[in-house]
């Protein structure tokens, strides 16, 4: 069933983003501090370059889209607007984008199947 509520969207985005940051920084996911930013230098952030931040934006779209059944898009202006966000704020903003995204073909099929059961 496609993601349809904000809480589920935030949980999904949190798990994908934190896993991505953990992998890039060689840390365990449970040690990622979402009160930090992506781009500020430690201790306030994880010190991602502009390219690293953009790679993260690109890298989270496919897994979130696949699991959610929604066609997540993070357009350029949106990325610029959220570049300086704390990770928690980025997660919330991404969840809003996700909830407003159209269903993928798989999401439509899942929704149709669930409603027909």
Instruction: Write down the mean pLDDT value for the chain.
Output: 94
Q: Is residue 1 part of a domain?
A: no
Does the pLDDT value for residue 115 go beyond 70?
yes
Integer angstrom CA distances of residue 78 from 35, 82, 93? 20, 6, 9
**d(Cα 61, Cα 63) in Å, to the nearest integer?**
6
Q: Is the model's pLDDT at 117 over the cut of 80?
A: no
Burial 47-56 (b: 16+ CB within 10 A, else e): ebeeeebbeb
Is 112 inside a domain boundary? yes
pTM of the complete model: 0.93
pLDDT tens track for 47-78: 999 999 999 999 999 999 999 999 999 999 99
Average pLDDT on 84-106 reads 96
Looking at the structure of the chain, the number of domains it has is 1
Q: What range defines the domain where residue 39 resides?
A: 6-116
Residue 13 has pLDDT above 80, yes or no: yes
């Amino acid at each position: 069933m496609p993601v349809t509520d904000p809480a589920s969207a935030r949980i999904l985005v949190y798990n994908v983003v934190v896993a991505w940051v953990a992998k890039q920084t060689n840390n365990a996911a449970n040690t990622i501090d979402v009160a930090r930013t992506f781009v500020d230098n430690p201790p306030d952030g994880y010190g991602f370059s502009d390219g690293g931040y953009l790679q993260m934006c690109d890298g989270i779209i496919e897994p979130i889209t696949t699991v959610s059944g929604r066609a997540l898009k993070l357009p350029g202006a949106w990325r610029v607007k959220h570049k300086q966000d704390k990770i928690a704020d980025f997660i919330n903003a991404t969840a809003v984008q996700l909830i407003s995204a159209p269903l993928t073909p798989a999401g439509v099929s899942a929704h149709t199947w669930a409603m027909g059961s």
